[in-house]
């Protein structure tokens, strides 16, 4: 049997899990891992299926609000609220996917964007449930994971389970068929694969994991801020995915860490920190299409002075728009 992760990926994951809570507060480390789950999930669509969604804040938000509302309004514990929220998001993303996958290219992007706005306005106006503009406060972590460190360990466990499931998914027949659809949808159809059906599977699974990220995020700062369901946050998730490198499985996680680091450090000195984000993004898109991981791979190859083997099987190629 093939090994699930290659060595550099394993090292990256281990180093991040160990050092994140040392260089940052454990809650921030937990935030990085949850954003990482969202970015990795987004990459199932972007890198592996070739679909750019500007609607993933919607799934993150549905996960976060579902968990938050279940916990605050109905008294569910986090351990019950999170799985239920994942279930809800899975249903929502499947339904929305039914509409979205009928279109491709720009139209697909615009539909995801429109749905995202719709969900934002629901969150904005349904104040009795969502708290509207002020967000939904008042979540409480259960006693078992109440303090920062135990919550971080909880997040790590969920994170590890998630990436194992995701990697198995991309290495599965369906994962390979999705990459084929990304490369050449007409041929994939001629071979006998129902392209829309496979895109829907990718969409729903991507939404499901993004919802999981949102549900955990709700307990990171024990509040659901409304900006996490806003369109701009969809852009942020895409930013994390691309800056980390959509051509590698683990790249988006690095992107999520980089994004959080920018936010945590630059925002202390400058209110307009998103401008830095924008500049970095422009540079990546213009000069480093393969993101941080792509750059690191290129540097490593130079340093080793040899042409290392091309990306291993199961790694997505550079995403195309």
Partner 1 sequence: MSVALQCKSVSKHFEGVKAVSNVSFDVQQGALHAVIGPNGAGKTTLFNCITSEYAPTSGEVLFEGNRISGRRPHDLPTFGASRSFQRTSIFANLTVAQNVWLSAFRQFAGNKVEIVRSADSHPEVAEVIARTLDEVGLARYADAPATELAHGDQRLLDFAIALAPKPRLLLLDEPTAGLSRTDTQRVMNLIEGFKGRYTIVLIEHKMDVVMRISDRLTVMYFGEVLAEGTPEEIRANPRVREAYLGRRA
d(CA 167, CA 250) in angstroms, rounded, equals: 10
Spatial neighbors of 306 by CB under 8 A, at least 6 apart, are none
d(CA 271, CA 89) in angstroms, rounded, equals: 33
CB-nearer residue toward partner 1: 28 or 177: 177
- In angstroms, what is the minimal distance from the CB of 205 to partner 1? 8
- In angstroms, what is the minimal distance from the CB of 145 to partner 1? 29
Instruction: Decide: is 193 part of the binding site for partner 1 (CB under 8 A).
Output: yes
- In angstroms, what is the minimal distance from the CB of 318 to partner 1? 9
Instruction: Decide: is 2 part of the binding site for partner 1 (CB under 8 A).
Output: yes
CB 139 within 8 A of CB 218: yes
Instruction: Decide: is 192 part of the binding site for partner 1 (CB under 8 A).
Output: yes
CB-nearer residue toward partner 1: 184 or 265: 184
Residue 270's region, left for phi above 0, alpha for psi from -120 to 50, else beta, is: beta
CB-nearer residue toward partner 1: 147 or 183: 183
Q: What does the DSSP 8-state code read for residue 249?
A: S
d(CA 162, CA 143) in angstroms, rounded, equals: 23
Instruction: Decide: is 321 part of the binding site for partner 1 (CB under 8 A).
Output: no
Count CB neighbours of 272 within 10 A: 10
Stretch of residues binding partner 1 (CB under 8 A), selected from 58-66, 186-194, 208-216, 259-267 = 186-194
Provide Rg for the chain, Cα atoms. Answer: 19
Within 205-234, the residues that bind partner 1 by CB under 8 A are: 205
Q: Which residues sit at the interface with partner 1, rule CB under 8 A?
A: 1-2, 168-169, 171-177, 179-180, 182-184, 186-195, 197-198, 201, 205, 310, 313-314, 316-317
């Amino acid at each position: 049997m093939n090994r699930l992760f290659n060595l550099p990926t394993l090292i990256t994951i281990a180093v991040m899990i160990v050092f994140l809570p040392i260089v940052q507060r454990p809650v921030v480390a937990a935030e990085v891992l949850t954003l990482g789950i969202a970015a990795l999930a987004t990459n199932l669509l972007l890198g592996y299926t070739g679909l750019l969604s500007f609607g993933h804040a919607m799934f993150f938000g549905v996960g976060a609000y579902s968990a938050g509302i279940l916990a605050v309004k109905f008294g569910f514990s986090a351990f019950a609220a999170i799985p239920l929220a994942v279930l809800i998001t899975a249903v929502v993303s499947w339904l929305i996917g039914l509409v979205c996958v009928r279109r491709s290219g720009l139209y697909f992007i615009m539909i995801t964007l429109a749905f995202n706005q719709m969900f934002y306005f629901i969150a904005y106006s349904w104040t009795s449930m969502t708290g509207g503009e002020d967000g939904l406060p008042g979540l409480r972590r259960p006693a078992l994971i109440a303090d920062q460190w135990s919550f971080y360990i909880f997040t790590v466990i969920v994170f590890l389970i998630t990436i194992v499931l995701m990697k198995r998914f991309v290495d599965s027949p369906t994962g390979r068929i999705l990459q084929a659809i990304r490369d050449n949808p007409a041929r994939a159809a001629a071979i006998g694969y129902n392209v829309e059906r496979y895109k829907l599977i990718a969409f729903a699974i991507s939404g499901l994991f993004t919802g999981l990220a949102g549900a955990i995020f709700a307990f990171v700062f024990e509040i659901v801020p409304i900006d996490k369901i806003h369109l701009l946050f969809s852009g942020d998730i895409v930013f994390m995915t691309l800056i980390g490198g959509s051509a590698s499985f683990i790249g988006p996680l690095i992107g999520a860490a980089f994004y959080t680091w920018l936010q945590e450090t630059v925002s202390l000195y400058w209110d307009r920190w998103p401008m830095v984000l924008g500049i970095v993004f422009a540079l990546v898109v213009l000069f480093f299409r393969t993101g941080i991981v792509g750059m690191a791979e290129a540097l490593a190859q130079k340093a080793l002075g040899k042409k290392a083997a091309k990306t291993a099987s199961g790694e997505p190629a550079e995403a195309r728009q």
